[in-house]
Amino acid sequence: MARQFTKGIDLYKAQGDFFQRAQLSAEKAHAQLAEQAYEDWKALVSGQLQKAQTKGAFARGSNVTVSTKFGRRRQLTAAQLAKRNLSGSVPLLPINIQSGRLERSITRRQTGTMPRQIFDVGPNSSAGKSMWVLVPGGTRKMIARGIWVEIERRWKARNKAFQDMYVKGQGV
């Protein structure tokens, strides 16, 4: 049975306590979302393939087809892939560690507190030349890796759960 209040001030205090607890709970959940996003970034830029295994694998069309003397393009054979030290297809994600700058550049920073709590998670400019691998559409010489699509897909799934829990009133 719901608690009944005989005085208006008691109801006011109880509602204030309830909303303060709800705000603290949402603040913790938001911080947890930021931590999970940070872990996603770290996981997506810490692949374990060696540089020799990925040699030229992400250049546009470099390991898929070759030109013939008649101008036509054909698939590389397994022997040609082995000769070039390529294993065929290489997964686009996770991005492999070459120098470690990209992985070290992933940061998590909080600005403000509730109700204006903002978390900034992602790479910063300290990655230097390594940032080219994160260009959403790829570059003229390199295919797109799809990291932004994957980050957005993971964020949408977590954000939906967060909204179901705290915005639509099912949490607290």
Instruction: Report the DSSP beta bridge partners of residue 74.
Output: 66
Residue 35 confidence (pLDDT): 92
Q: Are residues 119 and 78 in the same domain?
A: no
Assess if residue 17 is contained within a domain.
no
Q: Are residues 30 and 77 in the same domain?
A: no
Q: Are residues 66 and 105 in the same domain?
A: no
Residue 37 confidence (pLDDT): 92
Q: Is residue 115 reached through a cis peptide bond, with omega within 30 degrees of 0 on the bond before it? A: yes
The total number of structural domains that make up the chain: 2
Q: DSSP string covering 23-87, please?
A: HHHHHHHHHHHHHHHHHHHHHHT-B---TTTTTTTTBTTTTTEEE-TTS-EEEPPHHHHHHTT--
Residue 151 confidence (pLDDT): 92
Q: Are residues 101 and 130 in the same domain?
A: yes
Asked whether 136 and 144 are in contact (CB, 8 A), the reply is yes
- Chunk the chain into consecutive blocks of 10 residues (it has 172) and report each block's average pLDDT, rounded to whole numbers: 81 85 78 91 85 62 58 66 61 81 89 80 84 85 87 90 70 50
Asked whether 13 and 63 are in contact (CB, 8 A), the reply is no
Residue 154 confidence (pLDDT): 93
Residue 56 confidence (pLDDT): 61
Residue 86 confidence (pLDDT): 56
Q: Are residues 64 and 119 in the same domain?
A: no
Q: Are residues 108 and 129 in the same domain?
A: yes
Question: What does pTM read for this prediction?
Answer: 0.66
Asked whether 169 and 162 are in contact (CB, 8 A), the reply is no
Q: Are residues 65 and 125 in the same domain?
A: no
Residue 88 confidence (pLDDT): 54
Backbone angles phi, psi at 73, to 5 degrees: -110, 140
